[in-house]
Every structure is written in C-alpha cells, then in structure tokens.
C-alpha cells in the first residue's frame, strides 16, 4: 500500500513520512479512526515506507513529501501483506476449522485475502463474516499476546524494523492486557507497534497512556470529490449522490461505484421496520425481527446505527435545515415523507431506543427480542400525538 493510493489525509501522511525521514518513529502509536476509515491502509503504508529500500523523495510541489517505491523486494512482499517483519494481530473466535485456542496466526490466509478484497477498508463486521463468526464476539486473547512477545523476541528477518499491527485493540481480552502492556512498556529495540481502534472509550486507559495517539479526521467531502474526479468517469450528479452517501467515510463509496447501488444496504430493512411500527403490524414485526436476527450481530448494529442517521436527517428536515440533510434518491424521498412522523418532538426518544438496542446487541442480548422490542417501542411513540 502506497501513501498515494489512499484517499485524503494529506497532512497526516506527511507527518508520518516525516517521522521516518527524521528518524523519530515513536515505538507505540494508536491510530484512531471511524469504522471503515483509512487507518488500516495508513498503518500498512507507513510500515511499508519504513521498510522500503528505495524511498521516493519528492522535491517538487507534490502533495506528498515522499512515498514507497512499490517495486523493491520489500515493497513487493508488502503488497501481498506478507513481509516476514510485518505482523498482524486481530480479533478471532473459534470456528469449524479452529475449534480451540483460536489465534490470529490460524487465520492469516483469510486475513490477507480480506485486506486485498476490501482494499484495507475492512470492518469488524466483514471480518467476522469472512471467517464465519457473525454471531460471536471475537477477541484478542492471551495466546495472541504471548505470540506478540515470542515474535518480537526474534531478530528482524530483513527490514530493520519489526512492525506489529494490532487491529481493533478494543477487543483485547482483559487477561491478555497485562502481557501486552508489559511489552509496550519495554519493547525490544527497532519495534513499532501500531494499534488500531475506533472507540477510545472501549480501550484500557493503561494502553492509551502508553501509546501516541494518531487521530484520523473524517474525510472532507472535497477529498472524496477530488478522488472520484481523478479516478472515475462519473457525472456530477452521481458524484453529489456518492459524496452525500459517503458521509465522510470513503468505505461507503465502494459499493456504489462497483455495482451502481444508490442506496445504503440497510435502507430497505430500516424503512420496513419503521413502516411496521407505524402500522402497528405486530405479526410482520415478529417475522421481520426473526429474519433480521439472522444477519449477525455486527450487521444488526450497523442497521441500528444507520437508523439513527436517518432519524437525525428527519429531524433536520423537520426543522427546515435541509442543507444538513445529506441524502439523495429513494432515501431522501423517504426522509422527506417520514419527517412528518419523526420530528422535533420525538426524534430524541426514537434515537434513544435505537441506541439502547445497539448497546444490547453489542452485549449479547437476544437479537430477535431486541429488534421486536425496538419496533414495539417506536410503534408506541407513533401513537402519541
């Protein structure tokens, strides 16, 4: 992964490049960015640049100060995510083929495939689906923490640096934390830890205090627009629609670009849930809850998060702040109609119901019951005049 292949984040890329050029790489960094943001891509580009034996330094007025060459033996291994000094740790759980003591190393082929399929915009949801653990909670366990220590005790094979990328450090299991903390405190020389996370509230304070925080800001619409102009032949109208749907997250752009999907994948399900609540159609609510309970916890969480976004848009629409309604096509039509029912007097309550449901799903409450309960509660709100 070259820096120039990643959309946006010009300032951050140059900051990372500078740490290498000036030999001021801090040994433990925490990249914090929203789900599906560029953090994993940036971490890999950073590690690849450190290891590249033919760094390209730009002296003209390029956006970037420098980048990896993409052709040296190190870069070639990096492009396959298979450099012997590049190590990955990520959440896993038992599966049909790994029935006990699951570790990241058991899933490396799937991991590399997932990275290349998603262009490093991997979400937890997609990862769980990839290894068939949609209905489980993956974690980074004590066996992986031991593996980190073992791996880093060995000398670097080729590069000067050994890089340990720990993805979704929120999933670090409590019993694994002390080991990781210890090695973060006293790392072997020439070791770089890049921890990746989405939510600092879910990370141990002791981990936070031992890492340098690197925050990814949401992509400005201009960066997305710019990238689309440079790389794709699409109409201005379509670009507007894509930028709105991306909502500061470039991950959302791929499905629209690849198969002409104009809508969020959760749009139909959420709309149906709301219509059932509005009609107080209890029988179909139960059927819908049953059907949705099978899409996996992470997908249900996404659906509920998406619902909260729609509620927010309905509120803007109701308040007349239509410039804040970032939507188009069928979704916009729905928001315009639905804002008669979701408005300033009840949006907060509905949002809270969806948020509670998301919280319960994350904590293993039965998904069917949670979804049914959500639709019932919202139905009750719709009956209040």
Binding site for Zn ion (CB under 5 A): 52, 54, 68-69, 72, 75
Closest separation in Å from C-beta 154 to Zn ion: 23
**What is the rounded CA–CA span in Å between residue 292 and residue 321?**
33
Closest separation in Å from C-beta 186 to Zn ion: 31
Q: How far is CA 357 from the centre of its chain?
A: 20
Closest separation in Å from C-beta 48 to Zn ion: 7
- Residue 53 or residue 117: which is nearer to Zn ion going by CB? 53
Closest separation in Å from C-beta 67 to Zn ion: 9
Give buried/exposed letters for 214-230 (b at 16+ CB in 10 A, else e). bebeebebebbbebbee
Q: What is residue 4's DSSP assignment? A: G
Is residue 193 a contact partner of residue 187, using CB atoms and an 8 Å limit? yes
- Residue 31 or residue 78: which is nearer to Zn ion going by CB? 78
- Residue 52 or residue 114: which is nearer to Zn ion going by CB? 52
- Residue 51 or residue 317: which is nearer to Zn ion going by CB? 51
Helices (H) and strands (E) in the chain, counts: 17, 7
Element (H, E) at 230: helix 221-231
Closest separation in Å from C-beta 74 to Zn ion: 5
Q: Pick from 122, 87, 129, 94: which is nearest to 108 by CA?
A: 87
- Residue 68 or residue 374: which is nearer to Zn ion going by CB? 68
- Residue 75 or residue 214: which is nearer to Zn ion going by CB? 75
3-class SS of residue 35: coil
- Residue 32 or residue 75: which is nearer to Zn ion going by CB? 75
Task: Measure the CA angle with vertex 163, ends 159 and 166; round to 5°.
Answer: 160
3-class SS of residue 150: helix
Is residue 358 a contact partner of residue 301, using CB atoms and an 8 Å limit? yes
Closest separation in Å from C-beta 158 to Zn ion: 12
Closest separation in Å from C-beta 51 to Zn ion: 8
């Amino acid at each position: 992964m070259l820096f120039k292949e990643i959309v946006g984040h010009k300032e951050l890329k140059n900051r990372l490049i500078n740490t290498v050029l000036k030999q001021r790489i801090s040994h433990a960094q925490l990249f914090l960015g929203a789900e599906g943001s560029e953090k994993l891509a940036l971490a890999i580009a950073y590690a690849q640049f450190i290891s590249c034996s033919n760094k390209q330094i730009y002296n003209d007025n390029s956006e970037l100060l420098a980048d990896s060459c993409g052709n040296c033996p190190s870069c070639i291994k990096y492009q396959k995510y298979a450099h012997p000094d590049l190590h990955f740790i990520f959440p896993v759980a038992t599966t049909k083929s790994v029935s006990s003591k699951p570790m990241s190393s058991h899933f490396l082929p799937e991991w590399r495939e997932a990275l290349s399929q998603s262009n490093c915009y991997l979400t937890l949801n997609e990862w769980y689906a990839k290894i068939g653990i949609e209905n489980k909670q993956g974690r980074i366990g004590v066996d992986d923490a031991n593996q980190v220590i073992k791996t880093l005790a060995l000398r670097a094979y080729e590069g000067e640096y050994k890089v340990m990328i720990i993805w979704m450090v929120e999933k670090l299991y409590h019993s694994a934390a002390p080991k990781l903390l210890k090695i973060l405190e006293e790392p072997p020389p020439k070791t770089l830890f890049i921890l990746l996370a989405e939510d600092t509230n879910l990370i141990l304070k002791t981990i936070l205090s031992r890492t340098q925080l690197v925050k990814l800001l949401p992509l400005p619409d201009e960066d997305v627009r710019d990238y689309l102009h440079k790389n794709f032949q699409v109409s201005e109208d379509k670009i507007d629609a894509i930028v709105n749907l991306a909502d500061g997250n470039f991950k959302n752009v791929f499905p629209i670009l690849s198969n002409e999907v104009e809508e969020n994948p959760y749009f139909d399900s959420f709309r149906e849930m709301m219509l059932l609540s509005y009609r107080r159609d209890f029988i179909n609510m139960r059927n819908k809850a049953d059907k949705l309970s099978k899409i996996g916890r992470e997908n249900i969480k996404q659906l509920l998060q998406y619902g909260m976004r729609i509620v927010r848009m309905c509120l803007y629409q109701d308040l007349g702040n239509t410039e804040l309604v970032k939507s188009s096509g069928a979704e916009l039509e729905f928001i315009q109609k639905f804002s008669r029912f979701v408005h300033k007097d009840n949006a907060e309550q509905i949002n809270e119901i969806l948020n509670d449901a998301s919280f319960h799903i994350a904590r293993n409450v039965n998904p069917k019951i949670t979804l049914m309960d959500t639709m019932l509660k919202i139905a009750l709100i719709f009956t209040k005049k």
